[in-house]
């Protein structure tokens, strides 16, 4: 409906909309009926039977893939309806997914043994299968009907539907929600990454048997381990996050406190042997995270699969804080050693990951799958969207964190051009929804200094999903600008609400918008203004673009995204998890620094500095080096070289000075006495250790019996700045290393 015109309004009464949709369906005007049912569902989204009718219309109009999504939504709203499973089976059959269709027909017959249509389809699919159906020992889906309740006069139904195919059925997944819970400590209304985590985990739990096949965990940095998060608590947090933005709300504060209590007091997570840790958030900011992943891989055979949203700190570092760029570069280098597979949210992100990974480790064939975020947003069942409050004027919606990468400055300047060209009264408002981020000062200053922008541009923060839903429903169109994106979730959200997005044509945004979005050349203000003028003032153009949306925007459900994730993980994972150090070999004569190396390029040296440290007696990598803590800090050094070897450690004495011990040998067979060293306050030392001929990785232990206590309570030992290994008789390597460390500047003649 055109908000700028009141002529010929579409029916707004739900009963009238439903009657009109039914009439169009009865006339077999499938496309028009689908649009009418969609309009009804925008007002009555919980009417699950109409989701089925909506799916029928799209199926009959030749779009079984879209119909499948709608049937799945009906299944989510009303689990256990036999006819819904029958319709899901029909859609799967049309898509050529016969094995899955067979399962859905079997579920329908299990739920309703008298369902003749399901019986016919089941027999037909079973007869046409290339392999016989599963035996009667396959698990039966939950339902009220037992085998004894089936009428004896009827032909016997299969004793059970077949088990889900492939290794995904038995894959034990643990979803890491550390990033999400950390976000909830200060914020409630989710942004894009939080929505993705909430939706995927929630839908994975909602699948049949989901809570038995997936766990939710969070990393307890204080204890250095993962803790389980109860599913009921997670669901409560998700529902409250979607329905409000006030962090002082007692219900919200109580739920967040319960999550923190689970992290502090809960038992350590016992990962299943060969299980999979799927990280749907970020972890580069969590101290010791990948070291703990290494330990779990070594002790339990854990497989690790991170979801990569983007490589923005490495691709457009100018739009990120310098510290973030360095930490992300170090994390990316290290995660390439630890991940058994990766998932990327777009083709663009996958290409970035592979390009950077191959530059880092050319011989590593790391499997990277794509998990597109082409799914409609979720709201709590029965909680309709609302306006915030109802706006008196037409408006265009821009949903994005206010930061330099989103380039609000370009959009604000475009709005000034529209106002000067058409007059302030003719130009709709621009409603910007998003919290303030990094380097947004230029855009905010322009907004503050321009009376026209202050009048026509609203900046909204902390908008809950329920109110955001209302803003999407009633806008003229949306705009989304960015220098670079991993996906562009607001583009998908716009399409799901039947609103055409005007989008910068770069990075992953073409994949997010597909054929449905209106694109402009990145950073071209004249072209952006022209596209906005067409969408705002040319009602016929806007109506035509909106009419294309049902065909051009093929969105799926988050349940399907969750299902794809499980399937992708099962397909990508190797049978065994190789240890991270198996992907690197240290080179004799090379000096390695054990510190946080600067970006923006990921460097193998940064990954090595992280990966060679084992045990709990290590601090976090800093730009100057790494602290050891009281106890025994272990270095594991993979080296293919045989013969007598020499290890030189560059160290600093602990604050205030103190005593520490060193010893070296082969990993797993480290024995013998420590060599004890007295060092003054931050004294610079080069400590030399000899290792006899033998096989296997090298190992160095640093023991601090009585550490210095820092202000944060930690007991620390000496600092490690770097190391070098070489053959004991390689005098040239030893001299070169010492010269480079001892001389401030050395110029070769």
729's CB contacts (< 8 A; 6+ apart) are 644
- Residue 162: which pLDDT band, with cuts at 50, 70 and 90? very low
User: What average pLDDT does the segment 191-201 reach?
Assistant: 94
Q: Which CATH number fits domain 169-370: 3.40.50, 1.10.260, 3.40.1010, 1.10.10?
A: 3.40.50
668 or 122: which leads in pLDDT: 668
pLDDT of residue 699: 95
> Mean pLDDT over residues 552-564, rounded?
93
- 175 vs 342: CA distance, rounded Å: 14
Average pLDDT estimate for 383-396: 70
DSSP, collapsed to helix, strand or coil, labels residue 632 as: strand
* pLDDT classification of 12: cutoffs 50, 70, 90: low
Residue with tokens 């998060």: 229
Q: Output the pLDDT for position 513.
A: 97
Q: How many CB atoms lie within 10 A of CB 538?
A: 12
Task: State the Cα–Cα distance between residues 500 and 494, nearest whole angstrom.
Answer: 7
Question: Of 565 and 165, which is predicted with more confidence?
Answer: 565
Residue ranges of the chain assigned to CATH 2.60.120.260: 584-742
Average pLDDT over residues 442-469: 94
pLDDT, one tens digit per residue, over 676-688 is 999 999 999 999 9
- Among 67-81, 274-288, 351-365, 453-467, the minimum mean pLDDT is found in 67-81
- Residue pair 243/464 in contact (Cβ under 8 Å)? The answer is yes
Q: How high does pLDDT run on average in the chain? A: 86
Predicted confidence band at 388 (pLDDT cuts at 50, 70, 90)?
A: low
* Inter-residue contact 462 to 421 (CB < 8 Å): no
Beta strand 645-652 with 684-691: parallel, antiparallel or unpaired? antiparallel
pLDDT for 152 beyond 50: no
pLDDT at 92 over 90: no
The residue with greater pLDDT, 726 or 76, is 726
pLDDT value at position 476?
Answer: 97
In the predicted model, what is the mean pLDDT of residues 405-417? 97
Q: Which of 24-28, 379-383, 733-737 has the highest mean pLDDT?
A: 733-737
Check pLDDT > 70 for residue 469: yes
Second CATH level (architecture) for the domain 584-742: Sandwich (2.60)
Query: Which uninterrupted H or E stretch holds 417?
Result: helix 408-422
Q: How confident is the model at residue 107 (pLDDT cuts 50, 70, 90)?
A: confident
Using an 8 Å Cβ cutoff, are 457 and 429 in contact? yes
Average of per-residue pLDDT across 690-713: 87
| Two structure tokens written together for 292 | 């703990």
CATH 1.25.40.10 domain residues, the chain: 14-165
Report the side by side order of strands in the sheet with 395-399.
457-460, 429-433, 395-399, 478-480, 501-504, 518-520
Q: What is the mean pLDDT of residues 683-696?
A: 90
- Please name which of 742, 717, 740 lies closest in space to residue 626, comparing C-alpha atoms: 717
Instruction: Record the tokens describing residue 97, joined without a space.
Output: 């997914």
Rounded mean pLDDT, 10-22: 77
Angle between helices 322-338 and 604-611 (to 10 degrees): 70
* Paired sense of beta strands 225-228 and 276-279, if any: unpaired
CB 576 within 8 A of CB 273: no
Q: Is the pLDDT of residue 381 over 70?
A: no
Neighbours of 612 (CB within 10 A): 23
CA distance 510 to 746: 52
Range 241-254 average pLDDT: 92
Nearest in space to 572 (alpha carbons), one of 272, 269, 340: 340
14-165: CATH class:
mainly alpha
**Delimiting residues of CATH 3.40.50.2000 domain(s) in the chain:** 395-555
Residue 459 has which token pair? 């900046």
Range with the poorest average pLDDT among 3-12, 170-179, 492-501: 3-12
Strand pairing of 276-279 and 173-176?
Answer: parallel
Euclidean distance between CA atoms 531 and 479, whole angstroms: 10
Contact 293, 263 (CB under 8 A): no
Q: State the CB neighbour count (10 A cutoff) for residue 545.
A: 21
| Sequence-separated (6 or more) residues with CB below 8 Å from residue 97 | none
Helix ranges (H only) for 185-321 are: 192-206, 210-213, 231-243, 250-265, 289-300, 312-315
Mean pLDDT, residues 627-647 taken together: 90
Residue from 581, 521, 512 nearest 553 by CA: 512
Between 212 and 350, the more confident residue is 350
Q: SS3 for 71? A: helix
Q: Is the pLDDT of residue 335 over 70?
A: yes
pLDDT band (50, 70, 90) for residue 547: very high
For residue 428, what pLDDT is reported?
Answer: 97
Q: Give whichever of 21-35, 137-151, 598-612 has the largest mean pLDDT.
A: 598-612
Going by C-alpha positions, the residue among 99, 96, 46 that lies closest to residue 74 is: 46
Query: In angstroms, what CA-CA distances link 576 with 273, 320, 473, 573?
Result: 11, 37, 48, 8
> 231-235, 415-419, 633-637, 641-645: lowest mean pLDDT where?
641-645
CB atoms inside a 10 Å sphere around CB 248: 7
Average pLDDT over residues 590-596: 93
Contact 237, 255 (CB under 8 A): yes
According to the model, what pLDDT value does residue 523 have?
A: 95
**What is the pLDDT averaged over residues 473-489?**
96
636 within 8 A of 612, measured Cβ to Cβ: yes
Residue 615 is classified by DSSP as S
> Would the pLDDT of 672 be above 70?
yes
What are the φ/ψ torsions at residue 74 (nearest 5 degrees)?
A: -60, -40
Residue 161 — very low, low, confident or very high, per pLDDT cuts 50/70/90? very low
Query: So what's the pLDDT on residue 599?
Result: 84
Q: What percent of the chain has pLDDT over 90?
A: 60
CATH fold of the domain at 395-555: Rossmann fold (3.40.50)
- Whether the CB-CB separation of 638 and 584 falls below 8 Å is answered with yes
Contacts of 105 (CB under 8 A, 6+ apart): 85, 86, 89, 118, 121, 122, 125
Residue 134, pLDDT above cutoff 80: no
- State both tokens at 80: 């256990």
Choice between 505 and 112, residue whose per-residue pLDDT is larger = 505
**Which residues make Cβ contacts (< 8 Å) with residue 664, sequence separation at least 6?**
647, 670, 689, 690, 691, 698, 699, 700, 701
Q: Of 11, 77, 19, 24, nearest to 49 (Cα)?
A: 77
Share of the chain above pLDDT 70, in %: 89
């Amino acid at each position: 409906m055109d908000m700028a015109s009141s002529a010929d309004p579409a029916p707004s009464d739900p009963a009238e909309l439903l009657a009109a949709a039914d009439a169009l369906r009865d006339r077999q005007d499938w496309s028009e009926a689908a649009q009418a049912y969609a309009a009804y569902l925008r007002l009555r989204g919980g009417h699950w039977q109409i989701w089925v009718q909506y799916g029928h219309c799209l199926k009959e109009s030749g779009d079984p893939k879209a119909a499948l999504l709608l049937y799945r939504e009906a299944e989510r709203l009303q689990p256990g309806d036999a006819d819904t499973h029958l319709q899901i089976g029909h859609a799967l059959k049309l898509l050529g997914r016969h094995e899955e269709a067979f399962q859905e027909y079997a579920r329908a017959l299990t739920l309703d043994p008298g369902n003749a249509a399901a019986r016919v389809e089941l027999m037909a699919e079973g007869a046409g299968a290339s392999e016989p159906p599963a035996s009667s020992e396959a698990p039966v889906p939950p339902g009220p009907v037992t085998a004894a309740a089936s009428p004896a006069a009827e032909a016997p139904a299969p004793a059970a539907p077949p088990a889900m195919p492939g290794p995904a059925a038995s894959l034990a997944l643990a979803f890491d929600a550390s990033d999400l819970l950390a976000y909830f400590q200060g914020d409630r209304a989710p942004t894009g990454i939080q929505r993705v985590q909430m939706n995927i985990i929630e839908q994975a739990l909602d699948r049949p048997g989901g809570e038995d096949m997936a766990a939710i965990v969070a990393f307890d940095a204080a204890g250095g381990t993962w803790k389980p998060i109860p599913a009921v608590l997670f669901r409560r947090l998700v529902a409250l996050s979607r329905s409000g933005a006030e962090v002082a709300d007692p219900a919200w504060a109580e739920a967040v406190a319960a999550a923190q209590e689970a992290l502090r007091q809960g038992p350590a997570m016992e990962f299943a042997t060969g299980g999979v840790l799927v990280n749907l958030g970020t972890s580069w900011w969590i101290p010791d995270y990948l070291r703990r992943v290494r330990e779990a891989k070594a002790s339990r055979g854990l497989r690790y699969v991170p979801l990569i949203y983007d490589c923005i700190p490495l691709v457009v570092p100018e739009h990120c804080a310098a510290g973030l760029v360095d930490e992300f570069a170090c994390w990316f280098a290290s995660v390439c050693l630890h991940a058994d597979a990766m998932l990327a949210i777009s083709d663009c992100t996958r290409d970035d990951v592979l390009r950077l990974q191959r530059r880092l480790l050319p011989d590593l064939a790391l499997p990277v799958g794509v998990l597109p975020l082409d799914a409609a947003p979720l709201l709590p069942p029965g909680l309709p969207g609302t306006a915030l409050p109802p706006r008196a004027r037409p408006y265009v919606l821009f949903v994005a964190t206010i930061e330099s990468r989103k380039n609000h400055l370009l959009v604000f300047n475009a709005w000034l051009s529209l106002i000067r060209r058409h007059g302030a009264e003719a130009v709709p408002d621009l409603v910007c929804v998003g919290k303030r981020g990094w380097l947004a000062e230029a855009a905010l200053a322009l907004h503050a200094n321009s009376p026209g922008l202050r009048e026509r541009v609203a900046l909204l923060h902390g908008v809950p999903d329920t109110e955001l839903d209302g803003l999407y429903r009633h806008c003229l169109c949306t705009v989304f600008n960015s220098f670079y994106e991993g996906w562009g979730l607001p583009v998908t959200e716009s399409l799901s609400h039947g609103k055409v997005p005007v989008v910068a044509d770069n990075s992953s945004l073409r994949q997010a918008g597909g054929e449905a979005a209106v694109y402009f050349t990145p950073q071209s203000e004249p072209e952006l203004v022209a596209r906005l003028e067409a969408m705002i003032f040319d009602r016929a153009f806007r109506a035509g673009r909106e009419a294309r949306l049902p065909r051009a925007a093929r969105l799926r459900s988050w349940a399907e995204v969750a299902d794809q994730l499980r399937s992708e993980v099962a397909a990508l994972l190797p049978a065994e998890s190789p240890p991270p150090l198996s992907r690197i070999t240290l080179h004799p004569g090379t000096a390695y620094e054990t510190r946080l190396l600067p970006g923006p390029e990921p460097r193998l040296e940064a990954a090595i500095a992280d990966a060679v440290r084992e045990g709990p007696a290590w601090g976090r990598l800093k730009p100057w080096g790494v602290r050891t803590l009281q106890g025994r800090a272990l270095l594991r050094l993979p080296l293919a070289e045989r013969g007598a070897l020499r290890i030189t450690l560059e160290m600093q004495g602990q604050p205030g000075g103190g005593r520490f011990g060193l010893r070296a040998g082969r990993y797993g067979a480290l024995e013998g006495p420590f060599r004890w060293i007295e060092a003054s306050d931050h004294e610079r030392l080069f400590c030399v250790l000899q290792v006899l001929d033998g096989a296997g990785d090298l190992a160095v232990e640093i023991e601090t019996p009585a550490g210095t206590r820092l202000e944060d309570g930690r007991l620390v030992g000496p600092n490690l700045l770097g190391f070098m290994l070489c053959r004991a008789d390689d005098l040239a390597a030893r001299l070169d290393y010492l010269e480079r460390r001892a001389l401030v500047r050395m110029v070769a003649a």
